[in-house]
Homo-oligomer: A and B are copies of this chain.
Amino acid sequence: MPRIVTAYSNPLVKRVQALRDKRHRREEGMFIAEGLRILTEARETGRLPQVLFYAQASAHHPLVLALVRDVEAAGGEAIETTEAILAKLSGKDNPQSVVGAFATFDTDLTALDRNASPIWLVAERLRDPGNLGTILRTGDAVGAGGLILIGDCVDPFSTEAVRASMGALFTVPLVRASWSAFLPWLRAGPGQLVGLSLRTQSHYRTASYAAPTFLLTGNEAQGLPAELEAECDLLVKMPMLGKADSLNAAVATAVMAYEVLAHHAPAGSE
């Protein structure tokens, strides 16, 4: 039976709320995801929150009932609560009807099947959680095999990254690896490493992409370091017709990912 909690001072409320902080996420190995749609998507991929908070007003929604049932069957805790507590947990004035605390997860590089998809996303020293979540969301849309985070990236389990991923955190395999682990793994099989650069004459529309293509995105402020560019099999440039010399990192990744998708699966073939 679900418990009913209405007090801010409840230890579980305090503990889940603390997961909005990176240090607590690391210590607990848990993170927050919100929203009925996203939690249902998580459930469909086999991931259930260890603690589920849901609004009294949505207690009879069939998807909430299904979540409560599955969470309790898996030994987790389902807690009916107030909108005020949901707002406190999510840090938003208009909170979603459900908030879940999940165990963090990761895929190991060696567990990836590079032939599972013609497109893979690789991001290096990404600093913005919104960009990271948005890249995951794009990865879902283009059917990417996964997102490989290289070096010191922002925490993919930060509340903002999870929110921006719109559920893709649960559907797109996520790997964290060092460059020195990634590169030998990549070179141990087929795989074209493609970087976006200003220092090339290859136009991104006319370049030749070979599956599996690994699209490498660099840090928002600094782009790709020269030593990473040097390891790329292909550097391409995009038209930059204005004053600026770069795009938002998530935008550049998406334009490239859709370009590669069009090469691997032309319009009409899907």
Taking Cβ atoms with an 8 Å cutoff, the residues of A that contact B are 41, 130, 134, 137-143, 164, 166-168, 171-172, 203, 205-206, 238-244, 246-248, 250-251, 254-255, 258-259, 261-262, 265-268, 270
Contact = CB atoms under 8 A, between A and B. Distances in A.
B141 A240 contact: yes
A2 B168 CA distance: 51
Contacts of A241: 140-143, 261, 270
| Number of chain copies forming the complex | 2
Contact of A270 (B172, B239, B248, B268): B239
B254 A205 contact: no
Contact of A141 (B205, B247, B265): B247
A33 to B, nearest CB: 14
Contact of A255 (B168, B205, B254): B254
A244 B206 contact: no
Contacts of A137: 244, 247-248, 251
A93 B171 CA distance: 34
